[in-house]
Amino acid sequence: MTRRLRLADIERLRRTRGRTVLLYLTDRCPVGCAHCSVAALPAGPRITDHRLFADILAGICAEPSIEAVAISGGEPFAERRGLVLAVDAFADAGKDVVLFTSGHWASGPRCPRWITRVLERSSTVILSTDSFHRAAVDRRRFCRAAAHAARAGCHLVLQLLDEPGAVPFAEEVLRDTLGDDWSGRAEITLITPLRAGRGGGVFAIGRRYGVAELGPCPLTASPTVRYDGVITGCCNESVITGGGPRGLRRRATGAAEVRAALAAFRDDPLLRAVGSVRPDDLVRLPPFAALAGARYPDVCGLCWRLHETAGDDGSRLLTALMGRGGGT
């Protein structure tokens, strides 16, 4: 029986090392928003090496500690073959599936059978919209997507950019779709703009933060696996699409290498430290002392500098720090 994961369940799993992974299924998306944090486009890259993709799925499925797999992109429903294979593989392996989608696929009142099957085998659908989406996914299409997901039994999360009118819009959609008692079957969450991909040219950087103002980043507990075999130590969009330090990226050409990369990121002392130790404690270590006085746009910016700075001595000191109870 598929679990219906609520946001609190998903966050709890994401913050526990080794329990979740994100499958970045495709760089293709029919919406093509001007603010897309991964710069996905209607004709963007997609799966071409299906043997490698099968090995990627096998590697993820073989990891017994992984309880849930989130699937994103791009738009996962733009990659029909890969999405069906992935959802079936994960569901058959007893892993919960969380789908991120814009709902663009809900073009008519009837849900295509293959999409219904994907939804029925998934736990949660995180349905995203904002003012940038609505030129391609209008209210009617968005409501249809919500209705199809709810009818298939998924828990529904409406994820909206934090902009004026977002919450009333989402509440209206859920009332129209599920009725006045929608809160037992759906949730609303607001997200902040991401200055990555095309979003880098749309959203300005806010203020920068001193190290003492930043906290640990628990999302270093949840790596990302791309459809092309690139595996990253976190879900930062710039890292997923090729930016950031090389230490956050590995490449796998088979199932065994997928498992080895996931294990390496799970046990990596620097990622463990960034995920559980206060940054102002980290920069007291000799390898990182020069980072203490700088200001950063977010904890990701500091994490990148830590990775660029760390060498063998940094890893040794971090291992000693974690051994003194620095966290999991």
Band of residue 146 on the pLDDT scale cut at 50, 70, 90: very high
Residue where a domain stops, chosen among 206, 235, 252? 206
Query: For residue range 232-270, what is the model confidence (pLDDT) as tens digits?
Result: 999 999 999 999 999 999 999 999 999 999 999 999 999
Residues in the chain: 328
Query: For residue range 275-306, what is the model confidence (pLDDT) as tens digits?
Result: 999 999 999 888 899 999 999 999 999 999 99
Q: Say yes or no: 16 and 112 in one domain.
A: yes
Which amino acid type is present at position 113?
R
For residue 161, pLDDT beyond 50: yes
CB 47 within 8 A of CB 24: no
Query: For residue range 125-144, what is the model confidence (pLDDT) as tens digits?
Result: 999 998 888 888 999 999 99
Q: Give residue 326's pLDDT.
A: 43
CA atoms within 13 A on the CB side of 136: 18
Residue where a domain stops, chosen among 155, 181, 206? 206
Which amino acid type is present at position 309?
T
Q: Say yes or no: 16 and 108 in one domain.
A: yes
Lookup result for tokens 């085998």: 121
Q: Say yes or no: 280 and 160 in one domain.
A: no
For residues 138 and 140, give the distance between their C-alpha atoms in angstroms, rounded to a whole number: 6
Show the domain range for 177: 7-206
Closest CA to 299 of 311, 283, 285: 283
Please state, as a whole number, how many other Cβ atoms lie within 10 Å of the Cβ of residue 280: 14
Question: How many domains are there within the chain?
Answer: 2
Q: Say yes or no: 76 and 175 in one domain.
A: yes
User: Does 104 fall in a domain?
Assistant: yes
Share the mean pLDDT of the chain. 92
Residue bearing the bigger pLDDT, 324 or 193: 193
For residues 128 and 227, give the distance between their C-alpha atoms in angstroms, rounded to a whole number: 22
User: Does 120 fall in a domain?
Assistant: yes
Residue where a domain stops, chosen among 162, 185, 206? 206
CATH of the domain at 181: 3.20.20.70
Structure tokens at 160: 């909206």
Continuous segment of H or E residues that includes residue 129: strand 124-129
Name residue 160's beta-bridge partners.
129, 190
The alpha carbon of residue 217 and the mean position of all alpha carbons in its chain are separated, in whole angstroms, by: 14
User: Does 215 fall in a domain?
Assistant: no
CB 38 within 8 A of CB 20: no
DSSP state of 260: H
In this structure, is the dihedral angle defined by the CA atoms of residues 206, 208, 213 and 216, taken in order, positive or negative?
positive
Structure tokens at 30: 């029919």
For residue 319, pLDDT beyond 90: no
Lookup result for tokens 């090389």: 246
Query: For residue range 40-67, what is the model confidence (pLDDT) as tens digits?
Result: 999 999 999 999 999 999 999 999 999 9
Pairing of strands 96-101, 230-232: unpaired
User: Does 262 fall in a domain?
Assistant: no
Band of residue 312 on the pLDDT scale cut at 50, 70, 90: low
* Total-model pTM: 0.94
User: Does 75 fall in a domain?
Assistant: yes
**What are the residues whose beta carbons fall under 8 Å from the beta carbon of 42, sequence distance 6 or more?**
28, 29, 30, 32
For residue 314, pLDDT beyond 60: no
User: Does 231 fall in a domain?
Assistant: no
Q: Say yes or no: 171 and 273 in one domain.
A: no
